[in-house]
Amino acid sequence: MYEVTSKWRKVNGVEVETWEREIVDANVLSVEVGTTGYMGGDTGHGGRTFIRISDEGGTDINAKVIEDRYGDTMGIEIALGGDAELSTMIEALKFITQVLEEGREAAL
């Protein structure tokens, strides 16, 4: 089993409860994720979702912000090298999905 800790993070002015855990293989990833769930529309209604994936040791990871011609963020790219990185990213994405689905359901 693994330890999951909770914390509060301000996301664009709104408090969001997040959940964090480490994923260990030949590398170590930390993942933190949280959401307010559905709140009735766009960002003006308060709904927020937060995801952070970070290297805690030995992870071959590169990330890039994708910008439009005006310099506004329109996406991100994540590139990984290595078999362990594939395994830990799969576990990270499963954890992210689980937390977001539970947050969505709690808001309904």
Chain position carrying tokens 């990330």: 63
pTM: 0.91
pLDDT of residue 44: 79
Query: What burial letters (b/e) apply to 34-51, b meaning 16+ CB within 10 Å?
Result: bbbbeeeeeeeeebbbbb
Residue 55, both tokens: 């290297």
Query: Counting beta carbons within 10 angstroms of the beta carbon of residue 71, is it exposed (0 to 12), middle (13 to 18) or buried (19 or more)?
Result: exposed
Distance of alpha carbon 103 from alpha carbon 93, whole angstroms? 15
Question: What tens digit of pLDDT does each residue of 35-91 get?
Answer: 999 988 888 787 999 999 999 999 999 999 999 999 999 999 999 999 999 999 999
Domain count, the chain: 1
Checking if the pLDDT of 107 tops 70, the result is no
- Give the residue numbers spanning the domain of 11: 5-107
pLDDT bracket for residue 108 (50, 70, 90): low
